[in-house]
Amino acid sequence: MLIEIKDIYKIYNEGKESEVRALDGVSLQIDQGEFVAIIGASGSGKSTLMNILGCLDIATYGTYILNGTDVTDRSDRQLAHIRNREIGFIFQGYNLIPALTAYENVELPLIYQGVSIFQREEMVLHALERVGMADRWKHKPSEMSGGQQQRVAIARAIATRPPIIMADEPTGALDSKTGRHVLEILHALNQEGTTIILITHDNGIAATARRIVRISDGRIVADGTREEVGL
Amino acid sequence: MKIGQAVKMAAKSIFANKARSALTMLGIIIGLAAVIVLVSYAQGQNLAMEKLYSSMGTNKITVYAYTWNGSNNVSQALYDYCLNLSDQVVGFSPNGNVYSQPTIKYGSKTLAPASHSSGGAVIVGGTAMSTGGENNYPSIYLGNEQYGMCNDYTIANGRDLSYLDVKNGNQVCVLGAATAEYLFNFANPIDQTITINGLPFRVVGVYAYKGDPSSAPANPEDTNSWVDQVISQMDQMILLPSTMTRYFNNNQPIDQYVVKVRSSEDLRPVITSLKTFLSGIIDPNSGSFGVNSDDVYKEQQGDATAMQQRFLGGIAAISLLVGGIGIMNIMLVTVTERTREIGIRKAIGAERSSIIVQFLIEAAMICGIGGLFGIGVGYVGTLILGKLSFNTILIPSPGITAGAALISVALGVIFGMYPAIKASGLQPVVALRAD
Ligand SMILES: Nc1ncnc2c1ncn2[C@@H]1O[C@H](COP(=O)(O)OP(=O)(O)OP(=O)(O)O)[C@@H](O)[C@H]1O
Ligand SMILES: [Mg+2]
């Protein structure tokens, strides 16, 4: 089992009147090589779940076993290591560093990994090529369209060739054609063995996943194939 | 992450955020330059005061003593008493002044008092001296053969007054350097005769310049500091034997004296002795006396200067603080942006330590460069201000420079590090949400 969470709660302002249970007792297992789509209404807790799965956030209660080890009692340094080596993130809002060029943004996780400058160049260009952005490597985020920024963000996520990719609405800002292109990239990566966790509003896109998890009010309400979930 | 990589990353960040980097540097440059210039100015002022004091003569006691009946034996009694103190007192002279401003002539040249006061009055040691303007009318003093020595004048040409000049009432004079230059230009004044109020006086000597000859005496006011003006004023003088008092001041006896002591330690004891002595010979009902030292005044002046320096130090501290707040502001304004950046860096796998090291190097580089420019601007500013205010080459002291640079660079580094220290400890998702 690659990912295993048990009774995860994420509660904001616990005990106060403004208490929000973004995750309200979620248990989930994901195997290596799976392609999982997470769907649900806005505010249902999809991003919260991904942040916890990606070690960007810590659950209020519950356990999280990644690759057989408990993540909940890892040090900050070990978590940084996990984020760097194990997981590639594609954020809902791109999250590129504005002052850096496309090339430099994609290069960043490789620098933190300690990859040599020569290897880096090859890996960065390869990742940019894969998303069709190699000709824009010199551009800063402010000089690119939303879809182009999203593709650079994807290149950054795949540059280190992580075993897991987590994508939060990667097609949200794209037209259907580029959206489909991004989806194809994810599927191709999945073919190569990468585990994909994809959050989406778009039922059409979710339907391409072998497994679909539906969330509502912080709880998993359905988990299975397209037919089982009812798409 | 290796340190070389962190340096590269910091450099990249500095160049990628040119406006922010430039503003931070500007804060440091202004703060640092202001401190250097202010403190150097205060020190320059101190130097100028010291120069003035040494020109006025050191280890000098001025005595004023007179009796209603005008008896002349006070002078003789004082002279005899000072001889008794010869292991402490090295010189004694009457210190009279011709108040009537008689007309001085040599050949076609005439020195007459200005009809109206053209310069401002400067108070030095309680004595008002007029400064500036076209007026180079000299002060005329009445003294003996020790007058020059007591007042730190040295003979440049000819000889000083002699004991016999005074005793016999010879009509001779010694000229201050500026007065000699005015009356005689490049001719030799020795043994020439000038007239004062029509009375002939033979020039026996000329004193050396105390001030800068090139800045004396008719240079425009604004190129000279008042200290220089006061000093060149000292070169505009004529010394006559004290016995000449009978031709001037309505034949009133001289009631001012100057006593020169061997060292500054002798000042206070001699002042006390003189006071005791004078209170013994002058009945308060029939006269009065005073014993004073400019050196004592100088000590008080030194206190005032120290206070002024503390005041300027305060201003410097405030400008450093303002500069520091400027640095802090620009750093804090970008905290949100930087917090997001840190969130991104953490999310893609940066360790806390790499982020802190990167920000540390970045802040140190910006502040280091800003600090160098600040020192440069401070030096140039000090040179300009030194030239304008003191007419000297004024250079900031290395201690002040290093101290101020250290403080402003430290401020920049601390506040440059602030977002990194704060945000690198957050959960990435919290840092990413910053707004
Ligand atoms: N920092 C926070 N403080 C309080 N409540 C929060 C916080 N972050 C998220 N929430 C709440 O948690 C719930 C889940 O948010 P989340 O971002 O996971 O939704 P989502 O499913 O990703 O929505 P969307 O599809 O719009 O992105 C929401 O109701 C949200 O208001
Ligand atoms: Mg979301």
Q: How far is B373 from chain A (nearest CA, A)?
A: 25
Six token digits for residue B107: 């050949």
B325 in the same domain as B243: no
> pLDDT at residue B148 above 80?
yes
Structure confidence at residue B222 (pLDDT): 43
The verdict on residue A165 lying in a domain is yes
B36 in the same domain as B111: no
The predicted-structure confidence for B253-308, as pLDDT tens digits, reads as follows 888 899 999 888 888 889 989 999 988 888 888 888 888 887 666 666 677 777 77
Going by C-beta distance under 8 Å and a sequence separation of 6 or more, which residues neighbour residue B317? none
> Is A184:A171 a contact under the CB 8 Å cutoff?
no
Q: How many CB atoms lie within 10 A of CB A207?
A: 15
> Is A4:A53 a contact under the CB 8 Å cutoff?
no
- Report which secondary-structure segment, H or E, holds A226: helix A226-229
pLDDT range class, residue B134, cuts 50, 70, 90: very low
Residue finishing a domain among B297, B329, B357: B297
Please judge whether B340 and A156 are an interchain contact, meaning their C-beta atoms are less than 8 angstroms apart.
Answer: no
The verdict on residue A209 lying in a domain is yes
Taking CB atoms and an 8 Å cutoff, what residues of chain A touch B430? Answer: 57
**Is A200 touching ligand 1 by the criterion CB < 6 Å?**
no
Percent of chain B with pLDDT over 90: 23
Going by C-beta distance under 8 Å and a sequence separation of 6 or more, which residues neighbour residue B50? none
- CB-based contact, A218 to chain B, within 8 Å: no
B192 in the same domain as B78: yes
Average model confidence (pLDDT) across chain A: 93
Q: Backbone dihedral region of A33: left (phi > 0), alpha (psi from -120 to 50 degrees) or beta?
A: left
The whole-angstrom separation of Cα B38 and Cα B319 is 9
Identify the residue among B334, B348, B352, B358 best suited for mutation to test binding to A, counting A beta carbons within 10 A and taking the highest.
Answer: B348
**Strands, DSSP E only, in chain A?**
3-12, 20-30, 35-40, 61-66, 69-70, 87-90, 164-168, 195-199, 211-216, 219-224
The verdict on residue A37 lying in a domain is yes
Six token digits for residue B393: 């080459």
B208 in the same domain as B84: yes
Q: Which range, A1-10, B87-96, B216-225, B317-326, is most confident?
A: A1-10
Structure confidence at residue B325 (pLDDT): 78
Taking CB atoms and an 8 Å cutoff, what residues of chain B touch A80? Answer: 346, 349-352
B176 in the same domain as B43: no
Beta strands A61-66 and B127-130, pairing class: unpaired
Please judge whether B348 and A156 are an interchain contact, meaning their C-beta atoms are less than 8 angstroms apart.
Answer: yes
Structure confidence at residue B156 (pLDDT): 92
Q: What is the ipTM of this complex?
A: 0.94
B99 in the same domain as B248: yes
The whole-angstrom separation of Cα A189 and Cα A165 is 9
The verdict on residue A130 lying in a domain is yes
Please compute the mean of the pLDDT values over residues B1-9 and round it to a whole number: 80
Query: In which domain, by residue range, is B147 found?
Result: 58-297
> Is A168:A92 a contact under the CB 8 Å cutoff?
yes
The whole-angstrom separation of Cα B172 and Cα B163 is 12
B421 in the same domain as B293: no
B265 in the same domain as B332: no
3-state secondary structure at position A117: helix
Determine the length of chain A.
Answer: 231
Structure confidence at residue B55 (pLDDT): 79
Please tell me which residue, B227 or B190, carries the higher pLDDT value. B190
Where do we find the tokens 């202004």?
B30
**Is A18 touching ligand 1 by the criterion CB < 6 Å?**
no
B377 in the same domain as B353: yes
pLDDT range class, residue A153, cuts 50, 70, 90: very high
Going by C-beta distance under 8 Å and a sequence separation of 6 or more, which residues neighbour residue B32? B320, B323, B370, B371, B374, B375, B377, B378, B404, B405, B408
Strand partners, A58: none
- CB-based contact, B419 to chain A, within 8 Å: no
> pLDDT at residue B132 above 80?
no
Structure confidence at residue B115 (pLDDT): 55
Structure confidence at residue A113 (pLDDT): 93
Dist. CA B110 → ligand 2 center (Å): 99
Going by C-beta distance under 8 Å and a sequence separation of 6 or more, which residues neighbour residue A116? none
> Is A49:A3 a contact under the CB 8 Å cutoff?
no
* CATH code (residue A165): 3.40.50.300
- Residue A4, φ and ψ in degrees, nearest 5: -145, 115
> pLDDT at residue B131 above 70?
no
Six token digits for residue A88: 């590639």
| A174 residue type, one letter | L
* Ligand 1, atom 22: closest residue by C-alpha: A47
B406 in the same domain as B338: yes
The whole-angstrom separation of Cα B260 and Cα A216 is 102
> pLDDT at residue B159 above 90?
yes
The verdict on residue A114 lying in a domain is yes
The verdict on residue A122 lying in a domain is yes
The predicted-structure confidence for A113-127, as pLDDT tens digits, reads as follows 999 999 999 999 999
The predicted-structure confidence for B25-77, as pLDDT tens digits, reads as follows 888 888 888 888 888 887 787 777 777 777 777 888 889 888 877 665 788 88
B325 in the same domain as B412: yes
Please compute the mean of the pLDDT values over residues B197-218 and round it to a whole number: 80
> pLDDT at residue A139 above 90?
yes
Lowest-pLDDT range of A130-134, B229-233, B313-317? B313-317
> pLDDT at residue B96 above 80?
yes
pLDDT range class, residue B216, cuts 50, 70, 90: very low
The whole-angstrom separation of Cα B151 and Cα B160 is 13
Total number of domains in chain A: 1
- CB-based contact, A162 to chain B, within 8 Å: no
Residue finishing a domain among B234, B268, B297: B297
The predicted-structure confidence for A64-111, as pLDDT tens digits, reads as follows 999 999 998 889 899 999 999 999 999 988 899 998 999 999 999 999
The predicted-structure confidence for B100-120, as pLDDT tens digits, reads as follows 888 888 888 888 876 544 444
Please judge whether B16 and A112 are an interchain contact, meaning their C-beta atoms are less than 8 angstroms apart.
Answer: no
Please compute the mean of the pLDDT values over residues B12-20 and round it to a whole number: 85
Tell me which residue of B23, B151, B37, B51 sits closest to B94, measured CA to CA.
B151
Query: In which domain, by residue range, is A115 found?
Result: 32-55+75-224
Where do we find the tokens 């580029």?
A178
**Is A20 touching ligand 1 by the criterion CB < 6 Å?**
yes
Cα three-residue angle B22-B348-A68, rounded to 5 degrees: 160
Tell me which residue of B247, B250, B238, B148 sits closest to B199, measured CA to CA.
B247
Please judge whether A156 and B1 are an interchain contact, meaning their C-beta atoms are less than 8 angstroms apart.
Answer: no
The verdict on residue A8 lying in a domain is no
Residue finishing a domain among B239, B262, B297: B297
> Is B419:B359 a contact under the CB 8 Å cutoff?
yes
Six token digits for residue B119: 């310069």
The verdict on residue A24 lying in a domain is no
Total number of domains in chain B: 2
Please tell me which residue, B250 or A15, carries the higher pLDDT value. A15
Structure confidence at residue B225 (pLDDT): 64
Average model confidence (pLDDT) across chain B: 82
The whole-angstrom separation of Cα B232 and Cα A141 is 70
B185 in the same domain as B132: yes
The predicted-structure confidence for B353-367, as pLDDT tens digits, reads as follows 999 998 888 888 888
Whether the full predicted model's pTM is greater than 0.80, yes or no, is: no
